[in-house]
Amino acid sequence: MSKASELSNKSIEELQGELANLKKEQFNLRFQKATNQLENTARVRQVRRGIARHQTVINAMRPGAASKE
C-alpha cells in the first residue's frame, strides 16, 4: 500500500492509471463478495482507502487547489 507522500512524487497520469486499476479491483471484489468467493475480506477496506488516498493526492495536485487563507 502506498502512502500519500510516496504518491505525491508521481505524475497525475500515473496516479489516474493506478486509480483506474484500484476501481477495477474494487469491482471484482464486490462480485467475489456477492458470490461468496471473497477470501481476503480486509482487501475491500484496503482498496477503498487506496482509492480515497489517490483521489486526495490528485485533487491536491490540480491547479487552483492551494488552500485559501
- Selecting from 3.40.50.300, 1.10.287.310, 3.20.20.70, 2.40.50.140, what CATH number does the domain 4-61 have? 1.10.287.310
Q: What is the dihedral of CA 20, 42, 32, 50, to 10 degrees?
A: -10
Report CA-CA distances (Å) from 49 to 15, 31, 43, 63: 14, 18, 10, 24
**Binning pLDDT at 50, 70 and 90, where does residue 69 land?**
very low
pLDDT tens for 8-48 read 889 999 999 999 999 999 999 999 999 999 999 999 999 99
pLDDT tens for 49-67 read 999 999 999 999 888 766 5
How many Cβ atoms sit within 10 Å of the Cβ of residue 14? 11
| Beta strand segments in the chain, E | none
